[in-house]
């Protein structure tokens, strides 16, 4: 346990480090003081120092790459002590063109005790860095005349058209106003005499026409030296009296050999001429450890482009290593713990707090399921507290419900309530209830509050997965495909994995949860139904309802559903229109339920001429539902958003065979050819099954008897008893995990 606690502590320390470093990068971008046109200030400093001098010196560095370890800590002190008058970067002063890289470079350059100028190189151009260079330092190509020399900076990245630069350079060189001319190109103009590891064609000045015309101008106007960077070598070549120097050792990656090493180039200008000297960084290489030290500097350069990036990289790699360690070396048991004894909790009454985003009098599968569970638990001596939204027409007295006022109501009839979860009295009253377990029925809002309260009270949280959220994308103010394909599944996975156990109504639903990555203990438990109530309906009540609805000898199809898009009612309307054309047997379709799509669906029924056989009944009181079910001959269903389809079980309890569209909540309830039929979402196949039950009385009676026998096993009493056993198992598991571990037995002789 101690070892695990230390590992968790190390994990969270790493998380804090990563967050702090990411925050530091954000700070560099958002809160550091702004800087712009730095070259203007640097040129003024150059003029102040050199305009009256004919002798001076400057340093040329290449590939700084934001290096703190090499450039800032090692080379800058050498430059400050070298006596040079100013410094020039030949390119790649930053490791990338992002804002934080430029800000980090600016902070590094403040350690210099001399003016400096930067060449616009390949790394300055990357990641949309060209506009940042222009804003923070100045133009991509420019010229400076100071002392007796001219310094010319070209854009070798192709950001600026090379033909324009050649024209500008020709006009500039024709002025002949300086004793010495130095040119900086970023990309090397010439290839070195030795091969460069991993170099590419684009590492050198492109296109060839640019290079050829530039070489012609250099030869014609006797340029003293051309400096560049972009490769990690020191290369010096002489062509027609001009020195071409590539310097790539001010930071970043070097191989630490004879041509690739840390260095800067010192250039001395006097009346006698121009001399250059390479100044290496003395790294104290010992002959015996030459290869090992070379390898170290390779790794050092590869990762050490600044303390921030290095520590960030190490922290991320540490997190990855810890994750891999947990996956590979920490033993896992993928089977349930069968050594649990739930009897102590089964033999005593429990106190259960339930959190739900909707409840009676709102009619829906979730409220009805919760109400049945409450009644079954209370009947066996348990106590329940249901935390639910407040409704206008709610019962006056309901001691077992804690009603929460709404922040707002949504839906055409304001049936969806967004409860005010921020009220402190909710937590206070739940704490006073002293729950043994908290049961959550939604993965957000009041469900999230219930999970928070469970963690604060240190009691187990059980979540029932009632609803396929991906089918409710039309209710969410987000792009439909984003919510349907990503957010809904991620929300379920995250919430379920924070709970101690998850109850699902069917095995197909359990399979879905495993597929999206839910690892919490899962229990398959279908919702119970009031089986006996469907058997107690009297024939006179059925006949009275038939007469009231004006139904004669027609066969009656029943469906129960909220009138909403996810219930796929349009599919049934179109299939019934087709059925009417293919059968001579009269029938009536009673669609029970209400919702925001009622007017649109009624218009569709009217357009298809189905007014005489397809009726939107509207909402029916729960106490009258058994009579409506018993009035029917067949139950029809097309929704694909169910996790169980509780109305299907109710229909079976009333003796109705079922024809439904195959989906996760249907497969485990409808047994093909036994108590009904399930088809793909194909109108012709679905209609064919409906036709067979409409026209074949013997088949319909057989499936009706089977449906009644099947539904008998789903009584409320059985449902409540099974759920309490789940509660007891979860409580036993939590007690076992919370119990102190027995001390290891002392060794003999200790």
**Average pLDDT rounded to a whole number, residues 254-281:** 91
Q: How far apart are CA 364 and CA 33, in angstroms?
A: 58
User: How many degrees, rounded to 5, is the angle at CA 350 between CA 348 and CA 352?
Assistant: 170
pLDDT band at residue 172 using 50, 70 and 90 as cut-offs = very high
- CATH (one of 3.40.50.2000, 3.40.50.300, 3.10.180.10, 3.30.465.10) for 343-524: 3.40.50.2000
Residue 304: the pLDDT is 43
Residue 284: the pLDDT is 47
Establish whether the linkage from the previous residue to 166 is cis, with ω within 30° of 0: no
Above pLDDT 70, what percent of the chain? 88
Per CATH, the number for 537-714 is: 3.40.50.2000
Q: How far apart are CA 1 and CA 9, in angstroms?
A: 12
118-to-230, 244, 254, 261 alpha-carbon distances in Å? 14, 18, 21, 21
Residue 301: the pLDDT is 46
- Model confidence pLDDT, tens digit, residues 54-101: 899 999 999 999 887 789 989 999 999 999 999 999 999 998 898 878
Q: How far apart are CA 256 and CA 246, in angstroms?
A: 16
**Average pLDDT rounded to a whole number, residues 360-387:** 91
> Edge-to-edge strands of the sheet including 351-355?
401-404, 383-389, 351-355, 437-440, 461-464, 501-504, 521-524
440/31: higher pLDDT: 440
Per CATH, the number for 32-283 is: 3.60.21.10
237: which residues sit within 8 A by CB, 6+ positions away? 190, 192, 193, 243, 244, 245
Residue 640: the pLDDT is 80
User: How many degrees, rounded to 5, is the angle at CA 73 between CA 118 and CA 310?
Assistant: 90
Q: How far apart are CA 412 and CA 400, in angstroms?
A: 29
469/598: higher pLDDT: 598
82-to-132, 279, 400, 639, 645 alpha-carbon distances in Å? 31, 10, 85, 81, 83
Tokens coding 290: 């030459």
Tokens coding 580: 């009417």
pTM of the model: 0.56
- Model confidence pLDDT, tens digit, residues 105-118: 998 999 999 999 99
Residue 715: the pLDDT is 84
| DSSP reduced 3-state for 511 | helix
636-to-208, 615, 629, 678 alpha-carbon distances in Å? 76, 14, 11, 10
- Model confidence pLDDT, tens digit, residues 587-599: 999 999 998 899 9
Q: How far apart are CA 524 and CA 726, in angstroms?
A: 10
Whether the predicted pLDDT of 393 surpasses 50: yes
Whether the predicted pLDDT of 336 surpasses 80: no
Above pLDDT 90, what percent of the chain? 61
The two domains 343-524 and 537-714 share their CATH topology (first three levels equal): yes
Residue 45: the pLDDT is 95
Identify the CA nearest to 144 among candidates 105, 118, 110.
118
Main-chain dihedrals φ then ψ at residue 307, nearest 5 degrees: -60, -40
- Model confidence pLDDT, tens digit, residues 242-255: 999 999 999 877 88
Q: How far apart are CA 299 and CA 674, in angstroms?
A: 70
Residue spans per domain, the chain: 32-283, 343-524, 537-714
Dmax (CA) for the chain in angstroms is 124
| DSSP reduced 3-state for 384 | strand
């Amino acid at each position: 346990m101690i070892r695990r606690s230390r590992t968790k502590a190390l994990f969270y320390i790493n998380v804090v480090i990563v967050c702090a470093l990411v925050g530091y990068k954000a700070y560099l971008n958002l809160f550091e003081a702004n800087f712009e046109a730095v070259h203007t200030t640097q040129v003024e400093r150059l003029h102040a120092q050199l305009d009256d001098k004919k002798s001076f010196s400057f340093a040329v560095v290449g590939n700084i790459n934001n290096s703190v370890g090499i450039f800032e800590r090692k080379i800058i002190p050498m430059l400050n002590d070298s006596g040079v008058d100013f410094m020039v970067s030949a390119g790649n002063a930053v490791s990338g063109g992002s804002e934080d890289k430029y800000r980090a470079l600016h902070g590094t350059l403040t350690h210099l005790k001399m003016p400096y100028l930067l060449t616009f190189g390949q790394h300055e151009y990357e990641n949309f860095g060209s506009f940042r260079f222009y804003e923070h330092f100045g133009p991509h190509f420019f010229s400076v005349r100071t002392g007796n020399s001219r310094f010319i900076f070209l854009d070798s990245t192709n950001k600026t058209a090379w033909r324009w630069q050649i024209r500008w350079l020709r006009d500039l060189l024709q002025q002949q106003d300086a004793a010495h001319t130095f040119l900086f190109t970023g990309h090397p103009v010439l290839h070195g005499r030795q091969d460069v590891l991993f170099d590419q064609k684009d590492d050198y000045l492109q296109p060839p026409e640019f290079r050829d015309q530039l070489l012609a101008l250099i030869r014609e106007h006797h340029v003293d030296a051309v400096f560049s960077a972009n490769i990690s070598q020191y290369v010096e070549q002489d062509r027609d009296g001009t020195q071409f120097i590539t310097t790539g050792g001010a930071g970043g990656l070097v191989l630490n050999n004879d041509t690739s090493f840390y260095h800067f180039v010192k250039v001395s200008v006097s009346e006698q001429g121009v001399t250059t000297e390479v100044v290496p960084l003395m790294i104290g290489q010992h002959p015996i450890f030459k290869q090992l030290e070379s390898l170290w500097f390779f790794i050092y350069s590869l990762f050490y482009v600044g303390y921030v990036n290095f520590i960030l990289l190490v922290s991320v790699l540490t997190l990855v290593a810890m994750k891999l360690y947990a996956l590979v070396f920490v033993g896992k048991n993928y089977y349930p713990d069968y050594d649990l004894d739930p009897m102590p909790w089964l033999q005593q009454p429990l106190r259960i707090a339930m959190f739900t985003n909707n409840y009676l009098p709102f009619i829906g599968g979730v409220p009805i399921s919760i109400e049945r569970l409450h009644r079954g638990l209370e009947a066996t001596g348990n106590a329940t507290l249901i935390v639910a939204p407040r409704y206008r027409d709610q019962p006056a007295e309901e001691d077992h419900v804690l009603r929460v006022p709404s922040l707002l109501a949504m839906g055409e009839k304001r049936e969806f309530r967004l409860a005010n979860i921020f009220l402190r009295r909710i937590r206070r009253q739940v704490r006073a209830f002293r729950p043994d377990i908290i049961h959550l029925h939604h993965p957000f809002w009041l469900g999230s509050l219930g999970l928070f309260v469970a963690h604060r009270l240190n009691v187990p949280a059980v979540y029932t997965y009632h609803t396929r959220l991906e089918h409710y994308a039309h209710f969410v103010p987000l792009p439909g495909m984003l919510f349907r394909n990503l957010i809904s599944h991620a929300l379920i996975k995250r919430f379920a994995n924070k709970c101690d156990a998850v109850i699902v109504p069917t095995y197909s639903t359990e399979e879905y949860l495993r597929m999206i990555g839910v690892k919490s203990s899962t229990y398959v438990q279908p919702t119970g139904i009031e089986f006996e109530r469907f058997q107690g309906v009297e024939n006179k009540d059925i006949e009275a309802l038939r007469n009231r609805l004006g139904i004669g000898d027609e066969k009656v199809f029943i469906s129960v559903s909220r009138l909403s898009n996810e219930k796929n009612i349009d599919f049934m309307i179109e299939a019934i229109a087709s059925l009417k054309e293919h059968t001579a047997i009269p029938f009536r379709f009673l669609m029970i339920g209400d919702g925001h799509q009622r007017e649109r669906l009624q218009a569709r029924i009217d357009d298809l001429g189905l007014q005489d056989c397809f009726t939107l009944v509207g909402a029916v009181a729960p106490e009258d539902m058994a009579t409506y079910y018993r009035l029917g001959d067949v139950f029809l269903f097309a929704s694909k958003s169910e996790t169980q389809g509780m109305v299907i079980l109710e229909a079976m309890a009333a003796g109705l065979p079922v024809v439904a569209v195959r989906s996760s909540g249907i497969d485990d309830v409808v047994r093909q050819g036994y108590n009904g039929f399930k088809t793909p979402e194909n109108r012709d196949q679905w209609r064919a099954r409906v036709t067979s039950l409409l026209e074949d009385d013997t088949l319909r009676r057989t499936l009706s008897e089977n449906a009644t026998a099947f539904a008998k096993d789903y009584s409320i009493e059985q449902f409540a008893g099974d759920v309490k056993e789940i509660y007891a198992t979860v409580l036993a598991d939590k007690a076992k995990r919370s119990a102190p571990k027995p001390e290891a037995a002392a060794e003999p002789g200790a």
